[in-house]
């Protein structure tokens, strides 16, 4: 694929200069959503926009950001916030809490699109129906489709895909040999061979779209922000940690933020838009006194606007790994390690897929035994029922939030995983993989009963890094933003990132975040 813009440094506006400006719109957070909005809003020359980002400029991110196989190393760098959940209860009231789960998220221009595994797939259309459960209006798959299309140039050419968007996305033309064998094994064992598993209309197994162009990562900064940095109506301030939102009456008029120990303010004549992600946007609302009254008082934060849904409804895709050793040498990774996925149903009576299997060309670390050569089949419940919370302990903007996704606290998520494990084992035992000399190391063939596999699922898992829901959209009392992403009960304030997703889609979430931001840009342009 081609079309990746030539990287350029991301200039950082002097905060003192920004203080002297009156912006129309202030964006808080320079990740996927912030980059989209900065680019789309400044298409209007009469809109003056400020983008605040707590992390570094894109040019200061680690060099490994650009090279797809290196993405696992990025979690150990300053490009990741380094969050960890509270100890998880393993899903059973009698169980001792397990360790906290690392929850990587991007820190720097481009956000998580600069450190993620570069999978670009829409959820299956059926998974967006739940967005209306809280009264959200106009957020079904068909409503989002124009915004999915607007974000992408899909090289597959399948129906319903975008043809002129900033992101150039497509499946790898030459998947790792072991992954190709897994795909062949899936079809051999009765799974459907999909054509475009990223488009939201199909179930089955196929190479998934990746945002990799000419062998390099294409982040939100590469696709959206870098090409527009020369616009005179756009300022970008990096190293800017948002402290709190500023109000005149019930109207949000700006943001207080810190850079290198100094406190600054940015004023917005029209709107402030939170694009700091599921953890960042909810935390900023809470620090500003917007949220559940009791929890705010416990954190020592004065209640400004009671909104009980802030920080609630946190959920994520957990992933369980089946790790295999092979006698045949697995070739070195050329792409993102996980180039082929399957979307399937754990039960035939479901209305759509609720499981993802991802084939990974490396053996994941596991508690059973180290594996030097092999592959992994990841199993993830795509439509989890478990719900958790995000809280703060004080108004300190530099204190880490308290993150509890409450993984596997709903037994239905465990049952879905058991179905996925059974399918993964069938594929690993297929004739297509026989020549590889496959041996399951973790959980291991002796872990076979539903009870034993359930214990494994609840205790040996990781985050798939797709947290959503802490500022859920809808029209009921538990919603944080309305159907046009306006914070309920306040003026001049919206949220437009993964935090507004009320029910997680049945695929990796980055493509949906781009679509949400594209739609938010239309709302904002129409409002002004």
Predicted local confidence at residue 322, as pLDDT? 98
Asked if residue 399 belongs to a domain, the reply is: no
Last residue of a domain, one of 441, 460, 479: 460
124, 305, 337, 466: the active-site residue: 466
Confidence of residue 9 (pLDDT cuts 50, 70, 90): very low
Structure tokens at 498: 């993964």
Whether residue 246 sits in one domain with residue 308: yes
Confidence of residue 497 (pLDDT cuts 50, 70, 90): very high
Collapse the DSSP code of 151 into the 3-class scheme (helix H, G, I; strand E, B; otherwise coil) and give the result.
helix
* pLDDT of 8 strictly over 90: no
Asked if residue 363 belongs to a domain, the reply is: yes
State the average pLDDT over residues 98-110. 94
Whether residue 476 sits in one domain with residue 352: no
pLDDT tens digits for range 126-175: 999 999 988 999 999 999 999 999 999 999 999 999 999 999 999 998 99
Whether residue 271 sits in one domain with residue 225: yes
Pairing of strands 262-274, 22-28: parallel
* pLDDT of 6 strictly over 50: no
Q: Residue 334: give its domain's CATH number.
A: 3.30.410.40
Asked if residue 212 belongs to a domain, the reply is: no
* pLDDT of 305 strictly over 90: yes
Q: Domain total for the chain?
A: 2
Give whole-number Cα distances, 247 to 207, 269, 284, 311, in Å.
48, 12, 14, 21
Predicted local confidence at residue 10, as pLDDT? 55
* pLDDT of 406 strictly over 80: yes
Whether residue 514 sits in one domain with residue 453: no
Asked if residue 348 belongs to a domain, the reply is: yes
Whether residue 367 sits in one domain with residue 296: no
Say which DSSP state 79 is in.
Answer: T
Predicted local confidence at residue 20, as pLDDT? 67
Q: Are 500 and 481 in contact (CB under 8 A)?
A: yes
pLDDT tens digits for range 178-200: 999 999 999 999 999 999 999 99
Least reliable range by pLDDT among 3-12, 73-82, 241-250: 3-12
Q: How far apart are CA 458 and CA 456, in angstroms?
A: 6
User: Is pTM, for the whole model, over 0.85?
Assistant: yes
Asked if residue 196 belongs to a domain, the reply is: yes
Q: Are 316 and 407 in contact (CB under 8 A)?
A: yes
DSSP state string for 101-119: -B---B-STTGGGGTS--B
Asked if residue 403 belongs to a domain, the reply is: no
Active-site residue 466, yes or no? yes
Whether residue 188 sits in one domain with residue 118: no
Asked if residue 151 belongs to a domain, the reply is: no
pLDDT tens digits for range 224-251: 999 999 999 999 999 999 999 999 999 9
Whether residue 237 sits in one domain with residue 285: yes
* pLDDT of 409 strictly over 90: yes
* pLDDT of 95 strictly over 60: no
Phi and psi, residue 39, nearest 5°: -70, -45
State the average pLDDT over residues 290-304. 98
Q: Are 343 and 507 in contact (CB under 8 A)?
A: yes
Whether residue 46 sits in one domain with residue 178: no
Whether residue 273 sits in one domain with residue 130: yes
pLDDT tens digits for range 264-283: 999 999 999 999 999 999 99
Q: Residue 242: give its domain's CATH number.
A: 3.50.50.60
Confidence of residue 27 (pLDDT cuts 50, 70, 90): very high
Phi-psi region of 50 (alpha: psi -120 to 50; beta: other; left: phi over 0): beta
Whether residue 111 sits in one domain with residue 19: yes
Whether residue 237 sits in one domain with residue 304: yes
Last residue of a domain, one of 416, 432, 460: 460
Whether residue 111 sits in one domain with residue 2: yes
Please give the share of the chain, as a percent, with pLDDT higher than 70.
Answer: 95
Q: Are 359 and 182 in contact (CB under 8 A)?
A: yes
Give whole-number Cα distances, 373 to 328, 329, 364, in Å.
8, 6, 10
Last residue of a domain, one of 460, 475, 498: 460
* pLDDT of 7 strictly over 50: no
Q: Are 464 and 380 in contact (CB under 8 A)?
A: yes
Cα within 13 Å of Cα(190), Cβ side:
4
Confidence of residue 90 (pLDDT cuts 50, 70, 90): low
Domain carrying residue 435: 172-207+318-381+408-460
Phi-psi region of 354 (alpha: psi -120 to 50; beta: other; left: phi over 0): alpha
Question: Across the chain, what does the average pLDDT equal?
Answer: 95
Q: Which residue has the higher pLDDT, 195 or 16?
A: 195
Asked if residue 161 belongs to a domain, the reply is: no
Structure tokens at 470: 């802490």
């Amino acid at each position: 694929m081609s079309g990746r813009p030539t990287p350029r440094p991301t200039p950082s506006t002097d905060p003192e200069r920004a203080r002297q400006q009156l912006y129309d719109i202030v964006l808080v957070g320079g990740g996927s959503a912030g980059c989209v909005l900065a680019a789309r809003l400044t298409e209007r020359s009469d809109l003056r926009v400020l983008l605040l980002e707590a992390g570094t400029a894109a040019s200061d991110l680690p060099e490994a950001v650009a090279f797809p196989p290196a993405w696992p190393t990025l979690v150990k760098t300053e490009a990741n916030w380094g969050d960890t959940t509270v100890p998880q209860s393993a899903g059973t009231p009698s169980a001792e809490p397990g360790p906290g789960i690392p929850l990587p998220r991007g820190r720097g221009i481009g956000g998580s699109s600069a450190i993620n595994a570069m999978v670009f797939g829409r959820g299956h259309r059926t998974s967006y129906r739940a967005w209306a459960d809280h009264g959200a209006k106009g957020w079904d798959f068909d409503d989002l489709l124009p915004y999915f299309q607007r974000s992408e140039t899909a090289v597959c050419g399948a129906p319903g895909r975008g043809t002129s968007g900033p992101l150039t996305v497509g499946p790898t033309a030459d998947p790792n040999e072991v992954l190709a064998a897994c795909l062949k094994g899936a079809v051999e064992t009765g799974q459907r061979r999909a054509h475009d598993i990223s488009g939201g209309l199909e179930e089955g197994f196929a190479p998934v779209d990746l945002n990799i162009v000419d062998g390099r990562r294409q982040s939100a900064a590469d696709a959206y922000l870098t090409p527009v940095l020369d616009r005179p109506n756009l300022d970008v301030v990096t190293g800017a940690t948002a402290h709190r939102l500023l109000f005149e009456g019930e109207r949000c008029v700006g943001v207080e933020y810190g850079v290198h120990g100094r406190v600054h303010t940015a004023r917005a004549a029209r709107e402030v838009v939170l694009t700091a992600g599921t953890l960042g946007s909810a935390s900023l609302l809470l620090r500003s006194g917007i949220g559940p009254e009791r929890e705010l008082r416990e954190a020592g934060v004065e209640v400004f606007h009671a909104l009980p849904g802030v920080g609630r409804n946190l959920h994520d895709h957990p992933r369980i790994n089946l790790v295999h050793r092979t006698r045949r040498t697995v070739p070195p990774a050329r792409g993102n390690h996980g180039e082929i996925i399957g979307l399937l149903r754990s039960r035939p009576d479901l209305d759509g897929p609720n499981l993802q299997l991802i084939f990974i060309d490396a053996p994941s670390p596991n508690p059973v035994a180290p594996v030097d050569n092999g592959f992994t089949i990841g199993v993830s419940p795509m439509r989890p029922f478990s719900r958790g919370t995000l809280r703060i302990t004080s108004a300190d903007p530099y204190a880490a939030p308290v993150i509890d996704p409450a993984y596997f606290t709903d037994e239905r998520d465990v049952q879905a995983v058991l179905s996925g494990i059974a399918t993964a084992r069938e594929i690993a035992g297929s004739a297509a993989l026989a020549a590889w000399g496959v041996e399951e190391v973790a959980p291991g063939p002796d872990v076979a009963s539903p009870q034993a596999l359930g214990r494994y699922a609840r205790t040996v898992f990781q985050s798939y890094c797709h947290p959503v829901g802490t500022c859920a959209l809808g029209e009921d009392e538990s919603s944080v933003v309305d159907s046009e992403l306006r914070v309920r009960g306040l003026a001049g304030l919206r949220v437009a990132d993964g935090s507004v997703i009320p029910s997680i889609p049945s695929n990796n979430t980055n493509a949906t975040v781009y679509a949400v931001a594209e739609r938010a840009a239309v709302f904002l342009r129409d409002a002004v």
